[in-house]
Structure 1
Amino acid sequence: MTQQDFVDGRMLIGGKLVEARDGGWLPSADPATEEVIGRVPAATAADVQSAVTAAHEAWPEWAALSMVQRARILKNYARRLAEEGERLLAVEVRDTGNTIAKLRHDIANAVRGIEYFAGLGTELKGETVPASGEYLHYSERQPYGVVGRIVPFNHPILFAAKFGAPVMAGNTVVIKPSEQSPLSSALLAEIVAETMPPGVVNIVTGDGVGAGLPLVQHPLVKRISFIGSVPTGLAIQRAAAEVAVKHVSLELGGKNPMVVFPDADPDEVAANAIAGMNFGWMGQSCGSTSRILLPDALYDDVLARIKARTEAIVQGDPADEATGAGPMNNRGQYEKALRYIEIGHEDGARLVTGGQRPEGPRFERGYWLQPTVFADVTPNMRIFREEIFGPIMSVVRYSGDYADAIRLANDVEYGLTASIWTNDIRLATRAARDVRAGYVWVNGVSRHFLGTGFGGFKNSGVGREECFDEMLGYTETKTVHVRL
């Protein structure tokens, strides 16, 4: 990235692109080189106050618009987002380290998500209830008002850009991107300023203390959504509860199983184990199937194929269409992954491939780590139980017994996704029922399908996204009784 490509970002507050009140800035570096490639304002509580005030003042007029009017505005925003896709993509690749081939899907999915919710507004219906003969009893859906959205570093443009559900439901929004990869949100602010009425969508950049906590605890923000880690999700729940009763939805981490039964095809399993691990994001995706549960009958064959496919992944410039894996996103995640590789060794797992920095001049700087596979992983090991959020796959042997497979799949605190592999439809539906996860693929991995609810069981979160339930989650139900 050349000097003229340096991103000098601004926040969006009340329709205006602004700096932080105290003049603070956050630099952002290319994880492939550690070169600073841009900066964004470092918001403080005063900036968050301004954003919430702008959203609160814009809310009555926005909520008064018809669904047709809101949809028209959102569709225009989606059109401009698509037109700016290549510009956003260029920044997003350099700021996140994610591969360009994968990030194209993020931008396309953000556009589709906006268009999807723009078409659902008239479905926000109440109901009539024949509770008595002397009254008309009915309910209606009403927006919360100002809502806050805190998005993670791994899919920043996807999660920041698709605010269709809360806005179409009649809310105004304050978005806080991750400080680890905020540059695409600065470009997003320009698009939003051009297409959305002032104050309806506001974007504040900063860290969790300066911007995140004030947003969570602001008394006018009655609804919070967060995507990220379990510890941060728990902290947000606690912080919100300290000041008010708030609706908090959480899409959190996972230690997701790929449960393979003895009749599955070994090569198909191996190919999808690689696909489900999301090495294009270096495993930094909540839904990655990082635990591969293989029966005795397939274990050695599938493991050998996984090793070969992992070693064939092209690691290099994430802006190259041929690259299969780039760097990790930031130093903290990189060092965490290195520590888990040490833990894997200490706990007795067998390193099959990877586990170190790639060789060559390109990889001397930056947060580079080879895609890594551990075998002979057992339930007592930390790499079996704990979310790493990095390019580390754990391969687990089991007897082939159904009960054993389900027990291993469920033996963690998480329950976001699961993948079931078998050609027996009765076995598949039984396993899909018994596995404790919110999003289950049978003979598939990784893909999301718009209109189907994505979210987790157990400590993987509460609430659902990417479906009509997400929009419902941004409304409150009011019941009215009219005496006849």
Structure 2
Amino acid sequence: MQALKYKNFINGEYVESSSGEEFLDINPADSDDVLGSFQLSTREDARYAISAALEAQEKWAETPPAERGRILIKASEILDSMKEELVTTLTREEGKTLNDSRVEVNRAVSLFRFYGVLASRIRGESIQSSEPRTHIITVKEPVGVVSVITPWNFPIAIPSWKIAPALACGNTVVFKPASYTPLIGYMLVEALVKAGIPKGVINFVTGSGSTVGLEMITNKNVDAITFTGSLEVGEEIRRLSSTSGKNVRIMLELGGKNPAIVLPDADIDRAVEMVARGAFGLTGQVCTATSRAIVLDKIAEEFTKKMVEKARKLKVGNGLREGVDLGPVVGQRELEKVLSYINVGVSEGAKLLTGGKRLTGGEYDKGYFVEPTVFAEVTPDMRIAREEIFGPVLSIMTASSFDEAIEIANSVDYGLAASIFTKSLDKAFEFMGKIKAGVVKINKPTIGIEIQVPFGGYKKSSSETFRELGEAVMDFYTKIKTIYIGY
């Protein structure tokens, strides 16, 4: 059976790439399951999309905020009506379980509703002047054309939390999804089209980061770039964005090496459950995944034993099947990276307690499945304790005191999320103050965020320019104009 062919969406029309080439979208759990073929677009295609967004931007900015919000809320309703199709597509395309896909799709529905409402609440200030017969006000205006470049691990939620506020503020968007997960992004754009989005306001271009992405970063008509992905790519975007000849606004979210500290007074069973959820949930392919469990010596043996037992009970398989706890990693390159880090851990002297191998045999041979992996005797200088792995791998580290645990937690280049498990209010508050992370959890897993509050990291986890989500992200998508009125 021939794969369905999907086109780019530019200037209100579905169009083929100027390259005439395509790439396949394949289920990472089942290589026989081809979801479709997508356009292998060129820089010329990206330029066309950017010019369409530029042409549409002024009229969209002049559209009353309530009308912009109405379209976003309508898109939310359409996404809600497509929910089951979206859930199945997301699991087939990215590999996560149906339960995890359902959570993500619901998040996308909520995001468009949330920012649809906020569209009418964009406001400036009225400020007293120091001069007589003078009034000062500020207004917020859209930044212009926004390049939205998103990862494969949350391929409908992350585009939603970037695109919805961008549109709410009156910007136009060029959207490039990850090449592993273009279909769910295509369906998101379809919902906006059905909701009545004007032509040129949302543009969808598939292809590689080195071609489409490069144009979206360096084109002089782009006013802002928002990217979520790896540290290496993010740093390259930061460098390249300065070559466009204009002051381009950037917002980068780039990953983490997230710790969970477990103190002796913690509920050990709960801590094991929460740390396992953070480490192995979504196959560890989450920027906020728990990759380091820092356990005080007194309880290290008990915690480690229970964590190994927990990891061995987890069921790995095709996310479409009932009872599966974690699906595959998303592709061959990611599989090789995870297995390589496991080998690095062993060679560095860490003790491999469980897992560590690719699962094979039967349906496993058609996908990229890795056993949940637990290391012990991991020290802060090891690469597996310092570098992002992005797979189901947990390093258990020990500390002799609370202060040492904090020191270990803060010793890496990243600072996205961190959690602590304790019954001590004093230690919880001390942790909040001393930990260098943008998202802090008490007796909860590092994964899991809410849309109504800011999200972002410290250190190399973020550009630290603006925060995503909540009302805070509206600052990224708007510029402030100060107006003096004499009378």
**Which TM-score tier does this pair reach, normalised by the shorter chain?**
over 0.9
Confirm or deny: 8 A CA contact 2:351 2:378 kept in the other structure. Answer: yes
Aligned equivalent of 2:47: 49
* TM-score, with length taken from structure 1: 0.96
Is the 1:452–1:467 Cα contact (8 Å) retained in structure 2? yes
1:421/1:7 CA distance change after superposition, 3 Å: farther
Counting only pairs closer than 5 Å after superposition, residues 168-207 of structure 1 correspond to structure 2 as 168-195=168-195, 196-207=197-208
Over residues 89-122 of structure 1, what are the superposed CA-to-partner deviations in whole Å (9 max), with x where a residue is unaligned? 2222111111111011111001111111111123
- In structure 2, the CA distance between the partners of 1:7 and 1:289, relative to structure 1 (3 Å rule), is farther
Shift of 1:359: 4.4
Aligned pairs for 1:144-223 (under 5 A) are 144-162=143-161, 163-195=163-195, 196-223=197-224
Structure 1 counterpart of 2:215, one-letter code: P
**How far apart are 1:483 and its partner, in Å?**
2.3
In 2, distance between residues paired with 1:346 and 1:120?
52
Aligned partners of 2:475 and 2:335: how far apart in 1?
38
Residue 121 of structure 1 corresponds to 119
Structure 2 contact 206–212 (Cα < 8 Å) conserved? yes
Match of 1:328 in 2: 329
In the aligned structure 2, how far is the partner of 1:173 from the partner of 1:298?
51
Distance of 1:7 and 1:455 partners within structure 2: 37
The whole-number CA distance in structure 2 between the counterparts of 1:155 and 1:146 is: 23
Asked whether 1:85 is paired with 2:80, we answer no
Deviation string 1:217-265 (CA, Å, 9 cap, x unpaired) is 1111111100011111100011101112111001110000001111101
Q: TM-score scaled by structure 2?
A: 0.96
1:483 equivalenced with 2:486 (yes/no): yes
Q: Distance in 1 between matches of 2:306 and 2:170?
A: 51
1:127 aligned partner, one-letter code: E
Counterpart for residue 108 of structure 2 = 110
Which whole-Å CA distance do the structure 1 matches of 2:63 and 2:190 have between them? 23
Aligned equivalents of 1:101, 1:321: Cα separation in 2: 9
* Among 224, 239, 260, the residue aligned to 2:262: 260
1:307 aligns to 2:305 (yes or no): no
Residue of structure 2 in register with 1:424 after alignment:
424
Deviation of 1:369 after TM superposition, in Å, equals 0.9
Find the counterpart in structure 2 of residue 272 from structure 1.
Answer: 274
Give the distance between the partners of 1:299 and 1:247, measured in 2 at CA: 46
Cα deviation for residue 377 of structure 1 reads: 0.6
For the Cα contact (< 8 Å) 1:17–1:189, is it kept in 2? Answer: no
Q: CA–CA distance in 1 between the matches of 2:141 and 2:191?
A: 28
Q: Deviations over 1:265-318 (max 9, x none)?
A: 1111110111111x3421111000110000111111111111111111111111
Between Structure 1 and Structure 2, how many residues are aligned? 479
Q: State the secondary structure of the residue aligned to 1:226.
A: strand
In 2, Cα distance between equivalents of 1:138 and 1:37 = 52
Q: Which residue of the partner structure matches residue 253 of structure 2?
A: 251
Q: Secondary structure at the match of 2:367?
A: coil
**For residues 369-388 of structure 1, what are the alpha-carbon distances to aligned partners after superposition, in whole Å with 9 as ceiling and x for unaligned?**
11111111100100000001
Distance 1:122 1:333 in 2: 42
CA shift for structure 1 position 207: 0.5
Amino acid at match of 1:144: V
What SS does structure 2 have at the residue aligned with 1:325?
A: coil
Tell me by how many angstroms 1:7 deviates. Answer: 4.0
- In 2, are the aligned partners of 1:39 and 1:183 still within 8 Å (CA)? no
Aligned partner of 2:19 in structure 1 is 22
- 2:289 is equivalent to residue 291 of structure 1: no
Unaligned runs of 5+ in 2: none
Out of 198-207 and 342-351, give the one that drifted further. 198-207
SS of the aligned residue for 1:8 comes to: coil
Q: Distance in 1 between matches of 2:186 and 2:16?
A: 11
Residue 480 of structure 1 and its aligned partner are, at CA, apart by: 1.3
Q: How large is the RMSD of aligned CA atoms in angstroms?
A: 1.4
How far the C-alpha of 1:128 sits from its partner, in A, is: 2.4
Q: What is the one-letter code of the residue matched to 2:455?
A: F
The match for 1:466 among 449, 464, 469 is 469
Q: Over residues 404-443 of structure 1, what are the superposed CA-to-partner deviations in whole Å (9 max), with x where a residue is unaligned?
A: 0110010000000001111111210110111000001101
Contact 1:223 1:246 in 2 (8 A): yes
**Any idea what SS the aligned residue of 1:250 has?**
strand
Inter-partner Cα distance in structure 2 for 1:161 and 1:451? 13
The 8 Å contact of residues 331 and 368 in structure 2, kept in 1 or not, is answered as: yes
Q: Is the 8 A contact 1:98 1:280 kept in 2?
A: no
Look up the equivalent residue of 2:106 and give its one-letter code. Answer: A
Q: Which moved further from structure 2: 447-456 or 264-273?
A: 447-456
Once residues 39 and 166 of structure 1 are traced to their aligned partners in structure 2, the CA distance between those partners, rounded to angstroms, is 28
Compute the displacement of 1:192 (Å).
2.5
Q: 2:99 aligns with which of 93, 98, 101?
A: 101
**Runs in 1 of length 4+ with deviation above 6 angstroms?**
none
1:96–1:329: 8 Å Cα contact kept in structure 2? yes
Indicate the SS of the match to 2:404: helix
AA aligned to 1:30 is N
- Is residue 384 of structure 1 aligned with residue 381 of structure 2? no
Residues 283 and 392 of structure 2 are in contact (CA less than 8 Å); yes or no, is this contact kept in structure 1? yes
Please say if residues 72 and 192 of structure 2, whose CA atoms lie closer than 8 Å, have aligned partners that are also in contact: no
CA contact (8 A) 1:99 1:280 kept: no
TM superposition shift of 1:139: 1.1
What is the CA–CA distance in structure 2 between the aligned matches of 1:301 and 1:70, rounded to whole Å?
Answer: 55
Give CA-to-partner distance per residue, 1:147-188, whole Å, 9 cap, x none: 111000111121223421111011111111011221212223
Q: Does 1:232 align with 2:233?
A: yes
Q: What's the % identity of the aligned pairs?
A: 35
